[in-house]
Structure formats: C-alpha cells, structure tokens
Amino acid sequence: MSIRSAQSAALSALLASQTGINVSSENIANASVEGYTAKSPNLTSSVTIGRTTGVTVTSVGSEVDSYLVRSINDAASKSGYAAVFPDPLELIASAFGKVGDDGAISTLISNLETAIASLAASADSQSSKTSALSNAEAMADELNSLSDTVQEQRASADHAIEGAVDQINVLLNEIQSYNDQLSGNTTSTLSSSELEDARAQSLRELSELVDITYYTDSSNSTQIYIGGTLVVGSQVQELEYNAAGAVDADTTFSDIRVNGKSITDDISGGKLEGLVELRDETLPEIQAELDNLAVTLMDTVNSVINRGTSYPAPAELTGSETTSLTDAFSGTGTVRIVATDENGNGAEIVEIDLSGITSVQELVDEINSSANLSASVNADGTLSIASSDEDYGVSIVNMDAVVGEDDQGFSDYFGLNDMFTGAGASDISVNSAWLDDSSLMPTGSGSDDNTLAVGDKVISSGSSDIAEALADIFDKNVSFDQAGNLGSTKTTLSDYASEILSDVAQQSSNAETDAGIASGEYDDLIERFSNQYGVNTDEEALTLSNLQSAYEAAAAVLEITQSLMDTLLEAVR
C-alpha cells in the first residue's frame, strides 16, 4: 500500500470515528426523549480496483421491528379505551354507596317501608303520615341525585369526546408535517431517522386516542385511516365534533364527522371509542336501571294508594296524567264518586257505569250532571274533579272499575291520588299538596257497600286498609322489566335497589381491573421496545471510549504517514 493510500484509509477511519462519536453523543443527549431510538452509523468498505482503501459512512439511523411497533400501537389503543371507565364509574359507585349504607337508595326504601308500616298501625296519626311522606321525599330526592350524577358523567364524557377529537386533529397535522419533511416536500433541520422517531411517537399517541390502520408508501409518507375513512393522505381530513350543552337522559348527541360524513359507527378502540361507549351505553344502562326502579315503585305505590280516599276529603282532586276531552275512554265496571262532609258522610253519591262511557268528554259530562260535583280538563291536560260546595270534599271509591289497556283503577288511570309523580328517576317527586298537608294522604278506602245512602259513613279517620296494603307491597316480590345489566325479575323494591348498587360496584371493580391489565400489557411492550431500541447510556459510554481509541489510532496513522511523506520529500530535495 502506498503512503497516499494509507493516508486516505486513515483519514476515512478518522471521519468514521468522528461520525460515531457524534452519533453516540446525540444518543446520550436524547436518552430521556420518549420514542427516541438509539442511532448507529452504517459503514461500508471503500474498494478501489479490488483493494480496500478505507471506510465510508453510508447512513445514520436505526432499524426497528415493524411488527413490534404495530403491537405497541394496538396495545396503546386497548389501554386508551380501558382507561376511560375507572374514574367515572368509581365516582358513580361512590355516589350510589354500598348496600347497608345509611344514605343508600336501598336503605331509604327500607326506611319508607318502616314508616308506612308504622302508619298502618296508627292510620289516624298525622305525625305518622308526615314521617311516611318525609321518608318518601328522601327516597325520591336520592333517586334524583343519583340520576343527576349519571347525567353529569355523561356530560363530562361528551366534553371529553370533543377534547379527544381536538387532540386527534393536532396529531394528524403533526404526522402530515413529518410526512412532508420525510418526502422532501418541506425542509427540516432534523435527520430522517429523528423525523421517523417523532412520527412513530405521534402514531403511538394517536393510537391511544383512536384505533387506526396505516401504511408507509414508497415516498416515506404514512397514510392513516379511521375505519374506512382516510384522514391523512395527501392532506389532513380533520374530525369534527361539538359537545352538547345541557345533558339529560333524553339528549340526542351529534355525530363525529369527517367532511360532513359520520364516522361515529366506524370508531373502534382508543379513548374515543371508550368515551362514546361510556356516554351512549354504559351510563344510559345505569340510568335505565334507576328509571326501572323509579317507574316500578311509582306504579306499584300509586296503583294501591289511588284506591283510597283521605279523611277529610279534599275539595278538589287533580290528576297527574295528561288527557284531552276528545280522547277515547275505555272502561268497565262502576266507579263511585261521592261528595262527603267534614265527618266523612256522603252528601251526594254518583255512580258511573264506565262501560257506557266512550270519551273523556262523556265522562266529564256525566260528573257535571250531578248537583255537588264538577269535572273539567285543565289547560295542562289534567283532569280535575271538584266539589261545588265548599262544605264538601271529593271521595272516589273504585268499586269494580277497570280502565285502559293496563287495567288500572279509575283514580289510578287519571292519577287523581298519586303519591309519586314523574317519568323516571330524574324527576320522581312526592305529591306536593300532601307534603304541605299530610292529612290529604289516604290511608283507607271509601265504602263500597251497595246499600250506601246519603248520610251514611263513606270514610272514617281510622281507616287503614290502604296503609296496610302499601306496607304489604314493600314485603312482596314485584315484577321488574329488563333494564341495563339487570334482567327481568321478581323481587322486592328494596332488593332491586340493592341489585343496582351491586351492579354499579361490580362495573367499577371490573373497569379498574381491565384498565390495569391493558395498561400493564402496554407498559410491558414499551419496556421491551425500550430495552431493544432505546439508548443504553452505559453501552454508549463504552462505545465512545472505543471510538476515541479508534480516532486516536487513525490520527496516529495520519501523523506517521505524514512524517514519512515529509522524509521522502526531504530526501528528494
């Protein structure tokens, strides 16, 4: 080998060592940067006329296992999805409480049962009526509160969806920027390997938010799809979503869209799917269980208490169910409507054969034909039956009346003596008139004696058959329809409430477990990737030491060859 060739080889070794030193230094500097992979120079021998004349650095970068990268992104999607549920479900479980807690809904129903049992034993006690109504109000308030908690979490999830969409759009634009730099469409101060690391990190963060499919084309641009919709190609197609305002059980949410096309049903995996499922399935199922409890309780209690009449009877009864004078009416049997005096004696007895009534108008006309009673449908669509004499009240005796498709009693059909009103857990409430005046709460039923005449006793202060019947319904199994995670069943009102608490607690526990498993699998893959492709500062320090030695050796060869060259030149002179 000539001196010139030796110098050239030594110089290439010097430059290669310098490049290696720079790469190792950059690796150490970026060791804590998330997603950064350790770089190394790729070397190849320089060959001239079949002879090795040095070394050349062809590139600097890192090669990672694409299958492992995709496995990490899949795990990120699963972890992002599972992480959505624990916190809101834990908050709801905490608000619902545990079976046996003083403020738990199952306990409050049991308290109401106890209060009504006491009322049945002393039906003429106003304090017992007040206690029963107070316990009923506490139970209704708790159902309202639990419903509010569920809807608040739905609203929170909805706003989080909007936030997740914004995050997704930021990442899509980041990835598009990296694509442009890697394909040469825009300039960059970063190396291609650093850009690829940054893009890979953005893809991982995007996968935590939503499950994606992607591939990198020949120009080193990564195209991304959500479902079957292209969101990063030649340009970014951003997602669009605006959160709803106030949220309740009846709120209809808008779709997540791309260019006006809904992709809500195409979303799978990641935080976004978890939030949509939480808002549209998990929480509504809990709400459905609460509503099932509230509606069943209202229907069961109201069907019984509507058979009663208070003592003394009120001057007017107004229903809670809406109707219209033109509505068809279908009933059988006889209902007895009595104008009663302050002692519960009959002043006028009106018996109506319901089989001959075909419309609400006919029913109103029939009542209005009496001397002391009048009926009307109010502006809000509720039926009112009133005494036309201030000295009389209105008592309804159902007799054998059966009305409507659900075979309800007459008073129950119109809600004339409802203890509870509302459409579900969110608005269940106790009859406000009764809360103001507990004497209006019926504890007994009026006389159904076929020989009842004017002046006879219709209702007395000690009547307790309705209170006793109310007490019985809390001890008996009631039919519940399927709702949420709870199947159709027959059980007590209190036990069904306990099932709701248990279901919510189980969901919370399962969510915590699932999130832990998904997070653990994701972390394991990240650690595996880091161990395989991350920066090991000890190894890099050793590499720097070896490269320094190689650099010094190459420099020494240059110095020697230069000395030889100088000696030869001196000899020639």
pLDDT digits over 309-318, tens only? 999 999 999 9
Report the candidate in 198, 203, 193 with the shortest Cα–Cα distance to residue 71. 203
Q: What is the pLDDT of residue 183?
A: 85
pLDDT (tens digit per residue) in 273-290:
999 999 999 999 999 999
At residue 562 the predicted structure's pLDDT band, cuts being 50, 70 and 90, is confident
Q: What is the pLDDT of residue 415?
A: 98
Q: Which of 62-66, 117-121, 193-197, 442-446 has the lowest mean pLDDT?
A: 62-66
At residue 39 the predicted structure's pLDDT band, cuts being 50, 70 and 90, is low
At residue 167 the predicted structure's pLDDT band, cuts being 50, 70 and 90, is very high
Per-chain mean pLDDT for the chain: 90
pLDDT at position 296 over 70? yes
At residue 418 the predicted structure's pLDDT band, cuts being 50, 70 and 90, is very high
Q: What is the pLDDT of residue 64?
A: 72
pLDDT at position 40 over 80? no
At residue 570 the predicted structure's pLDDT band, cuts being 50, 70 and 90, is confident
d(CA 177, CA 473): 68
At residue 193 the predicted structure's pLDDT band, cuts being 50, 70 and 90, is confident
By the 8 A CB rule, do 401 and 331 touch? yes
**Quick one: average pLDDT of 172-180?**
96
**Quick one: average pLDDT of 200-209?**
96
Q: What is the pLDDT of residue 144?
A: 98
Q: What is the pLDDT of residue 564?
A: 73
d(CA 252, CA 255): 10
Write the DSSP string, 351-397: EEEGGG--BHHHHHHHHHTSSSEEEEE-TTSEEEEEESSTT-EEEEE
At residue 566 the predicted structure's pLDDT band, cuts being 50, 70 and 90, is confident
**Quick one: average pLDDT of 558-567?**
74
pLDDT (tens digit per residue) in 385-417:
999 999 999 999 999 999 999 999 999 999 999
pLDDT (tens digit per residue) in 332-377:
999 999 999 999 999 999 999 999 999 999 999 999 999 999 999 9
At residue 79 the predicted structure's pLDDT band, cuts being 50, 70 and 90, is very high
Q: What is the pLDDT of residue 31?
A: 62
pLDDT (tens digit per residue) in 89-144:
999 999 999 999 999 999 999 999 999 999 999 999 999 999 999 999 999 999 99
- Please report, as a single letter, which amino acid is at residue 58: T
pLDDT at position 546 over 80? no
- Pairing of β 382-387 and β 373-377: antiparallel
List of E strands, 32-96: 40-48, 51-61
d(CA 159, CA 253): 11
Q: What is the pLDDT of residue 147?
A: 98
- Cα distances (Å, whole numbers) of residue 373 to 226, 316, 548: 68, 9, 110
pLDDT at position 443 over 70? yes
To the question of pTM greater than 0.75 for the whole model, the response is yes
**Quick one: average pLDDT of 195-218?**
94
Half-sphere exposure of 70 (CA within 13 A, CB side): 8
Q: What is the pLDDT of residue 367?
A: 98
Q: What is the pLDDT of residue 530?
A: 82
Residues 6+ apart with CB under 8 A from 513: none
Q: What is the pLDDT of residue 433?
A: 96
pLDDT at position 17 over 80? no
379's tokens: 């502006």
pLDDT (tens digit per residue) in 496-528:
999 999 999 999 999 999 999 999 999 999 999
